[in-house]
Amino acid sequence: MATYVLIHGAGDASYWQRLVPELRGRGHDVVAPELPSDDDAGLAGYTDTVLSAIGDRTDLVVVAQSLGGFTGPLVCDRVPVRLLVMLCAMVPTPGETAGDWWGNTGSDQARREQAVRDGRSPEFDVVETFFHDVPPEIVAEATAREPRNESASMWTDPWPLQAWPDVPTRFLLGRDDRFFPASFLRRVVRDRLGIVPDEMDGGHCPALSRPKDLADRLEAYLLEESAG
């Protein structure tokens, strides 16, 4: 039995609501903490919150989604981790802030260009961009919920590591991601991690749209890592 440590992106921990029972149903422990919203929390506060939720658990698989890509590696630098899975995630470089990441990578331009190619409006729309393949009842819950405020310093704290942590790392992108298009993420992952990302059907929120498929992928990664 492994412990899956699920780190949400911008938004809240309800992002994992459909994946948690899938993983627990396969016999695993799951930790999915709510990250703090106070302006001073920043990267250190996010990391400490995750570490507190982990407690003395071991055999950890860290899954970091979207903005959680800034926090996931910091957790791996602090505790022994079996595997880090970056899920449709931002990949930071040393000293980079989350606020600068968008311009440094060209993510907004990539999103707008993909929308034009798809015949959609290039203007950001939360439902069309994030939830286009998520069940309507889940979308209704998500959009009715009071949005969680992101810590202001989360966007301005420089990513403190000098190098990627020494932990096996996989990257899983959604082929239909409208926020971080697949062609964009393939480039970012190649340039910043030096690996070829894995791909699955679905958009930016596979934990909500395809929880079983995502759990299958995570289990496959775990088996591969066990086999060496």
Q: What's the CATH number where 107 sits?
A: 3.40.50.1820
Query: Has residue 16 got a pLDDT over 80?
Result: yes
Tens digit of each residue's pLDDT (9 = 90 or more) over 68-97 = 999 999 999 999 999 999 999 999 999 999
Tens digit of each residue's pLDDT (9 = 90 or more) over 19-66 = 999 999 999 999 999 999 999 999 999 999 999 999 999 999 999 999
Q: What pLDDT, on the 0 to 100 scale, is given for residue 128?
A: 95
Angstrom distance (rounded) from CA 14 to CA 139: 12
The domain in which residue 196 lies consists of 3-227
Query: Has residue 170 got a pLDDT over 90?
Result: yes
* Predicted structure pTM score: 0.97
Tens digit of each residue's pLDDT (9 = 90 or more) over 122-165 = 999 999 999 999 999 999 999 998 889 999 999 999 999 999 99
Q: How many domains does the chain have?
A: 1
Geometric angle at alpha carbon 64, from 116 and 39, rounded to 5°: 90
Ordered DSSP codes for the chain: --EEEEE--SS-GGGGTTHHHHHHTTT-EEE-PPPP-STT-HHHHHHHHHHHHHTT--SEEEEEEGGGGGTHHHHHTTS--SEEEEES-----TT--HHHHHHHHTHHHHHHHHHHHHTS-SS--HHHHHSTTS-HHHHHHHHHSPPPPPPGGGTTSPP--SS--SS-EEEEEETT-SSS-HHHHHHHHHHHH-SPPEEESS-S-HHHH-HHHHHHHHHHHHHHHHH-
Query: Has residue 228 got a pLDDT over 80?
Result: no
